[in-house]
Chain A
Amino acid sequence: MSGGGTASSRGMRLLSKAGPFLICLAIWQAITMLGITDPAFLPGLGSIWAAFRDLAVEKTLWIDLATSLMTAGLGLLFGILIGVPLGAAMALSPRADGFFGPIVKATYSLPKSALVPLFVLWFGVGGLTNILATVLTTLLPIVIYTYHGVHGVPRLFLWSAAAFGTPRWKLLTRIILPAALPAIFTGIRIALGFAFIVTIAAEMIVSNHGIGKLMFFFGDSGSYNYMFAAVITIVVAAYLADRAFVILTDYVLRWQEPAERHA
């Protein structure tokens, strides 16, 4: 996005980017219209759109979408609130690193959605269970990226600030956190993707609400056009959330050299 360009050239770019999607949709529509596959297995785009409108009018879609977004959002929020201080502490204190490092390493490879059946025993179906599973999933990438970000702060910055008599806590808020912010944002973006994945997985495994539950319900009862409508809704919602976060990142980090971003 260098400089913006004229309206028509921007429109052309958008069209060029949308091209592959339009081709895929056209192929989908052609397959269903030619009757190559069973319409139950691959519902036509028109029937999915009708199902979507039906769900949207009945409001169930919005309530379930709000549930899913709230779970993912709260999970990410607590992941940030716990993960950033934890990652920074691990980078700044060898003792904290020695304690939390092995725990992070040991739990990193565990598929966190597998904890859902366990949490159900403790906290019951839905609600807290799903939020906790999401917090645990979003925590790890945020911890790791914060750790590397804080570790990567040039010593020179710290020395010169200290030489000017900056108090310790100001060193943290004025030097370390701003310098580590790009890495932290990268971690949060990865965590955002994870948040959607685990929220939906948890809702599909056991839940009474949410888009995951909705998809599973329609799939089980054979209303496949409704199932596709729900799947597409959550995929688009996740995409919009990711784009919104990229825009936020670009705004917050506007002081940074563009070349260093999204590295």
Chain B
Amino acid sequence: MRKPMAAIASRAWRGVRAIYPLLLLLAAWELVARAGLVRPLFLPPVSVVLERLFVTAADGELWPPLLTSLYRSAAGLVLAAVVGVPIGFLAVRNRFVAWFVDPLVAFGSPAPKLALIPVFTLWFGIDNLSKIMLVALTTVFPFMLSAAAGARTVALNQIWAARAMGSSETTLLWRIVLRAALPSLMSGLRVAVPTALLTTFTAEMVAGGGLGGALILAQRYFESATVYAYLLVMLICGYLFDVELLRLRRRVLRWYEG
């Protein structure tokens, strides 16, 4: 009876030790706010922020804007993957595509594409479509680059072997190139997902709607607790997606890295 207890206690202790700086920060935040060192408008206590978070979650105020933002990010990501991955593969296998795409990627990849928020609002309206298209534009580059990097790792003799056994070009692409590129594509996805969230939230802060728009509205009405609560939600979203992506990566790539 004593041994499992000790094991649980030691595991809990390790868990606390892993995140103690965060707990310390939260405690310091609570103390500073409670002691009245700063005005509650600037820094409401953590407890108030967490309470606000639970209230918005319970009465449903949080969910519609959050789901809108997640939908926009996801739709943009899917679009970017559908366009970017094939172009990345083609750029490795076709010289003309490489000639056309490489300079555009070299220019477009580091370009601050959020500058196009007003342009996309003009072209695609202020609703979902402009955000989805902008997410697609910002995340298509990591997909293209990781697809191309992955396709370059395919061993030539594997392609020759598959051809010799009579595989068609499409089977070749799906069964061999895509599979060989999977580790690289997973890394690309890990860059693309936070980029998608950043793009969505920022575009919403500029042009309205979603969680970004809700954050700006709360700030305009000086509801500081809500501002912090929504920021926490954004942080948790990004963190959870990253953790899940790592888990997915481990599952999909069981055969890779042992």
Contact = CB atoms under 8 A, between A and B. Distances in A.
Interface in A13-36: 16-21, 23-24
B227 A118 contact: yes
A234 interface: yes
Contacts of B103: 17-21
A224 B116 CA distance: 12
A111 B219 contact: no
B122 to A, nearest CB: 6
A110 B206 contact: no
A201 B115 CA distance: 7
A124 B114 CA distance: 23
Interface stretch (B19-27, B78-86, B150-158, B170-178): B19-27
Interface in B110-155: 110-119, 121-123
Interface string B85-116: 00000000000000111011001001111111
Interface stretch (B3-11, B50-58, B59-67, B228-236): B228-236
Interface in B160-214: 194, 197-198, 201-202, 205-206, 212
B182 to A, nearest CB: 21
Interface stretch (A80-88, A96-104, A157-165): A96-104
Please tell me the size bucket of the interface on A.
35 or more
Contacts, number: 147
B30 interface: no
Interface of A: 16-21, 23-24, 41-42, 98-103, 105-118, 120-122, 192-193, 196-197, 200-201, 204-205, 211-212, 215-216, 218-220, 224, 227-228, 231, 234-235, 238-239, 242
Given A21-B107, A193-B112, A227-B122, 16 more contacts: A19-B99, A41-B122, A41-B123, A103-B21, A103-B25, A107-B235, A109-B194, A111-B194, A114-B212, A114-B215, A193-B110, A197-B114, A204-B117, A219-B119, A231-B119, A238-B110
Q: Which 7 pairs across A and B sit closest by C-beta, in order of nearness?
A: A109-B238, A219-B118, A111-B198, A117-B219, A196-B112, A110-B235, A113-B202
30 contacts: A17-B103, A21-B107, A98-B17, A102-B20, A106-B239, A108-B242, A109-B242, A114-B202, A114-B205, A114-B230, A114-B231, A116-B205, A117-B205, A117-B215, A196-B112, A197-B114, A200-B114, A201-B202, A201-B205, A205-B216, A218-B118, A219-B118, A219-B119, A219-B121, A227-B118, A231-B118, A231-B119, A235-B111, A235-B112, A238-B112
